[in-house]
Amino acid sequence: MLVLSRQKDETIMIGDDVEITVVDIRGDKVRLGIKAPPHIPVHRKEVYEAIQQENRAAANVSPDDIQSVSTTGIKPVDSNNSKKKKKNNNNNSREGMRQ
């Protein structure tokens, strides 16, 4: 593990795309600002671990689990139909704003 010392408003670069800046220091708390491209996910470790756990659980879904969901009466959304409804709703709201 690389350990670096930084003061408030100082930045660390990771590669060419990720900047980590010390925004504030209060007692034993350090606030960091992170700039990263959208394709690089940034999470607190506890959130990352929860996401990984959920992904592992989802990967262990059995075909019987999927079948039970599909027979409960939940109907798939028709993406073409929902887009038309959204477009109509947007048009209606715009028209209402003009009046």
pLDDT along the chain (99 residues), means of 10: 96 97 96 97 96 91 72 62 54 45
Strands (E), the chain: 11-14, 18-26, 29-35
28 domain-assigned: yes
71 found inside a domain: no
Q: Give me 85's structure tokens.
A: 């409804």
C-beta of residue 62 within 8 angstroms of C-beta of residue 42: no
Residue 14 lies in a domain: yes
- In a 3-state reduction of DSSP, which class is residue 3? coil
In-domain check, residue 51: yes
In a domain, 33, yes or no: yes
In angstroms, the CA 74 to CA 67 distance is 11
The answer, as to whether pTM is greater than 0.85, is no
Number of domains making up the chain: 1
Structural domain contains residue 97: no
**Res 96: pLDDT:** 46
Tell me the residue range of the domain where 20 lies. Answer: 8-59
Q: What is the pLDDT of residues 61-79, one digit of tens each?
A: 777 777 766 666 656 666 6
Question: CA angle 53-58-63, nearest 5°?
Answer: 150
14 beta partners: 18
CA distances to 3, 59, 78 from 41, rounded to whole Å, are 22, 20, 30
- In this structure, is residue 73 part of a structural domain? no
